[in-house]
Amino acid sequence: MLSEIEQFLYREARLLDERRWEDWINLFADDGYYWVPAYPDQEDPYKNVSIFFDDKELMTTRLNRLNHPDIHAQKPASRTLHVVSNIEISNEHDVEGEILVYSTLQMMEFRLDKQTSYGGRAQHLLREKDGGFELAWKRVDLINCDGVFEPLAIPF
């Protein structure tokens, strides 16, 4: 089981690095969401502002903008490298057909002759589907989530 989960997370990272936004969004369940809290230990995305808190529809809108030929925020386009490690299956989540996975990640972004590095801990709630998995949700807790950021356009 761990090997299949690792392959799923590595594929997700590759899709992001290849800017295959539609394929990445399709990893999410119809009711899935992507959350990057703006504060350490943030418990509720509805009570505080977040860096990202997107359902599938908002992800699609946001990432379609990245493909638009006139988007100046991504000229030139960012090049990224996502590194996923320390993958661990949680034994705290016991809902049939769901698996909570913890990992660490680092994302390097190169744009306009500048390389920026982001790091954090991720949680993925995977649902078993058709012999594989779909994302019920993904949460990324950046170690500097409450720091000052340049405008962020690329998912972690």
* Separation CA 121–CA 75 (nearest Å): 29
116, 126, 121, 49 alpha-carbon torsion, rounded to 10°: 80
The answer to whether the beta carbons of residues 122 and 102 sit under 8 Å apart is yes
Q: Is the pTM of this model over 0.75?
A: yes
Give bridge partners of residue 70 from the DSSP assignment.
Answer: none
Domains assigned to the chain: 2-142 (3.10.450.50)
57 has pLDDT over 90: yes
User: Each residue of 16-34: pLDDT tens digit?
Assistant: 999 999 999 999 999 999 9
Give bridge partners of residue 101 from the DSSP assignment.
Answer: 89, 124
